[in-house]
Structure 1
Amino acid sequence: MDSEINSNTALQEVLNALEVDRKKIAETYKTSYILFGLAALIIAVSIFIGLGGFAVILGIIPLIVGIVMYFKINDEAIKYQVDYKTKVLASAFKNFDGNLTFAPQSGVPEYEFISSELFTTRPDRYNTEDLVSGIADKTSFWFAEVNAEYKTETQTKNGTRTEWHTIFEGIIFVADFNKNFEVSTVVRPKSFGANLGAWFSKNVFSFGNTEVVQLENTEFDNKFVTYSRNQIEARYILTPAMMERILDLNSKSEETISISFIHSKMYIAFPLSHNYFEAPIHSSLLVPDLLTSDISIVKFMHDIVNELDLNTRIWGKE
């Protein structure tokens, strides 16, 4: 990736300009943090040795200055992040594959997240961003970062305590499967039902006459549980070759993936702990491996079409 940056004069100029902004933002944040710490120290010492209200007021002054600086530079930091995504990442993705488009403010809609049937809990709070879409040969695909949570409320003597729990955090990948499925087929991790944290269900969806599908791949059945309303169609989708490809794809993922085949689409959920596509603030933009991580995840998602052989059109849409 360093050769691409070095050989792209326009991109290098954009990075040089953004680096100036980044340094200003980083220094202002650093100064704000120092002022917050100084204010806390003055106030704590004043209270501890009993210097009185005047000394406490002296401590409030750097606190106020720090707050003003922090929120003033925060607007510039937001603009910096947007410029990085629209001017740097969008250009890099287009250089990687001219068919790719990058829409930082868009994502996978909540209704599609729900209708994928990958999760058993409806989100109470849903955020999505950084939509990447493209076409690999005959297959359209798109993916975005998603953070979905549900809340629980507990009555205490002091009132109601609200806690938020993660349903899913990572990337949702969607691809055209070139087949209008009669029913849905869902492949979830074997540990799905046992994980009472992120996967706990407060609002289980109804899947009608859904049954567990026993497949002829022991390794696949040991890793996943497959549900469908139509055993025949599920086996037609999950051919021996497809199961091997899913296992291979899963081996390259950070955590066990989930997959569903619904309507004419295939959905894949990749749980991830890392937030991609964000501009660094406290480290330089002018480093050779700046885009390596982001380009790698885009390439990984792009290659799913070939990994799962989605361009082999064994069906036509009915």
Structure 2
Amino acid sequence: MKTPPKSFDEIFEKISPNLQLLEEVRKNRAKDILLWEILGITSLALIFLVFNLGLYFLGAIIILFILYCVGMVFEKLDVATKDLAPKFKKTVILALLDYFYDHVEYIPNQRMSIHLLNKSLLIRKFVYKHWGEDFITCRIGHTDVYFSEIETFHLNQQKSTFRGVFIAVMFNKQFSTKTVVINRKDSTLFRKAKLNLFGDMKKANYVKLESIEFNKNFLVIAEDQIEARFKLTPALMEMMLAYKKKLNTTVSFSFIENYLYITIQSDKNLFEPRLLKPLNDKKFIENNYLYLDLLTTVVKDLDLNTRIWL
């Protein structure tokens, strides 16, 4: 792993010149959007006067113009997003990743493989289709980490079965059996039965661990209770609880073959620029840095470079 910076200030100072150029682009795009908003609002105020004077034909024309203004606002927003998003991701997100980690690859329009999503056993229903972006790979120590934003769907259902960040951590050694650690809020009565019924796990059983706090937060289902307890040591359980608390959302884990999978529920559209507020605002960039750092430090938080697996 690369030597981390002494402070966020050092990173911000490094990318500030590029941020200033990006902010100029944002300002120009924002002016276009604001112009059509002002025209629409002004026309809306004018329409009341026109109708009071009985000028209905003119009023109809103004209504059509207002609708045109609304359409232009959405069009300008779409154009601005398509223009700013790639530049922001290259200027900010990729720069942050490169500053910390080795072998970084960032593909904004790519998503995690549907095969890995189903293989993880963490999505409540089988994934038939999915949407995603911001696919990132990097190496932390000797461990390869992959993650992206994901939204999954079952068959033709309109409501997604999962939305958030999906992380896959690949090891050189394989786990002998499968272990799934599901957040209690995301568990269902028939989860174990379904894993057995569809052959996803062999003789899946609930595992009750020594940690009362861990059992309150997570439901453990495993093929082998002894190996599950070997993996989920008291130290690792504490790390998982701390990781969940740090993220302040629903988090689940699974240990399958040579992967640790993690799902983090989130409704945020991550790593995107904002259009109506300054992009070179230090606090805004720091929020991106903190969330990105939180995701990519999973290896450090769970001590995955030093643990010895079966």
TM-score computed with the length of structure 1 as normaliser: 0.81
Residue 294 of structure 1: how far off its partner (Å): 1.7
Moved more, 21-30 or 54-63: 54-63
Q: 1:1-318 maps to which residues of 2 (within 5 A)? A: 1-6=8-13, 8=14, 11-38=15-42, 51-68=55-72, 70-72=74-76, 74-123=78-127, 126-149=130-153, 164-193=158-187, 206=198, 207-208=200-201, 209-315=203-309
Query: Given the superposition, is the C-alpha separation of residues 24 and 253 from structure 1 closer, same or farther in structure 2, using an over 3 Å criterion?
Result: same
8 Å CA contact 2:166, 2:261 repeated in 1:
yes
Residue 313 of structure 1: how far off its partner (Å): 4.9
8 Å CA contact 2:135, 2:149 repeated in 1:
yes
For residues 55 and 97 of structure 2, the distance between their equivalents in structure 1, rounded to whole angstroms, comes to 59
Partner of 1:134, secondary structure, is strand
Partner of 1:286, secondary structure, is coil
For residues 40 and 282 of structure 1, the distance between their equivalents in structure 2, rounded to whole angstroms, comes to 22
Residue 150 of structure 1: how far off its partner (Å): 5.1
8 Å CA contact 2:32, 2:76 repeated in 1:
no
For residues 215 and 48 of structure 1, the distance between their equivalents in structure 2, rounded to whole angstroms, comes to 74
The code of the aligned residue for 1:297 comes to Y
The code of the aligned residue for 1:285 comes to L
1:257-284 deviation digits (Å, cap 9, x = unpaired)? 1001112100111122433211121111
Residue 219 of structure 1: how far off its partner (Å): 2.0
8 Å CA contact 1:178, 1:265 repeated in 2:
no
Query: Given the superposition, is the C-alpha separation of residues 50 and 110 from structure 1 closer, same or farther in structure 2, using an over 3 Å criterion?
Result: farther
Query: Given the superposition, is the C-alpha separation of residues 315 and 66 from structure 1 closer, same or farther in structure 2, using an over 3 Å criterion?
Result: closer
Partner of 2:161, secondary structure, is strand
**Larger helix proportion of the pair:** 2
Give the length in aligned residue pairs: 298
Aligned to 2:3: none
For residues 72 and 253 of structure 1, the distance between their equivalents in structure 2, rounded to whole angstroms, comes to 34
8 Å CA contact 1:174, 1:267 repeated in 2:
yes
8 Å CA contact 2:136, 2:147 repeated in 1:
yes
Residue 29 of structure 1: how far off its partner (Å): 1.9
Partner of 1:227, secondary structure, is strand
For residues 35 and 61 of structure 2, the distance between their equivalents in structure 1, rounded to whole angstroms, comes to 20
For residues 233 and 218 of structure 2, the distance between their equivalents in structure 1, rounded to whole angstroms, comes to 15
The code of the aligned residue for 1:5 comes to F
Query: Given the superposition, is the C-alpha separation of residues 53 and 80 from structure 1 closer, same or farther in structure 2, using an over 3 Å criterion?
Result: same
The code of the aligned residue for 1:83 comes to K
Query: Given the superposition, is the C-alpha separation of residues 150 and 241 from structure 1 closer, same or farther in structure 2, using an over 3 Å criterion?
Result: same
Structure 2 alignment gaps of length 5 or more? 1-7
For residues 271 and 66 of structure 1, the distance between their equivalents in structure 2, rounded to whole angstroms, comes to 33
Aligned to 1:157: none
8 Å CA contact 2:44, 2:66 repeated in 1:
no
The code of the aligned residue for 2:106 comes to F
8 Å CA contact 2:102, 2:140 repeated in 1:
no
8 Å CA contact 2:231, 2:309 repeated in 1:
no
1:99-139 deviation digits (Å, cap 9, x = unpaired)? 43322122212232222110222346522111222111111
Structure 1 alignment gaps of length 5 or more? 154-163
The code of the aligned residue for 2:180 comes to V
8 Å CA contact 2:163, 2:265 repeated in 1:
yes
TM-score computed with the length of structure 2 as normaliser: 0.82
Q: Percent identity?
A: 25
Query: Given the superposition, is the C-alpha separation of residues 39 and 212 from structure 1 closer, same or farther in structure 2, using an over 3 Å criterion?
Result: farther
Partner of 1:107, secondary structure, is coil
Aligned to 2:5: none
For residues 32 and 231 of structure 2, the distance between their equivalents in structure 1, rounded to whole angstroms, comes to 55
For residues 304 and 70 of structure 1, the distance between their equivalents in structure 2, rounded to whole angstroms, comes to 38
Partner of 1:290, secondary structure, is helix
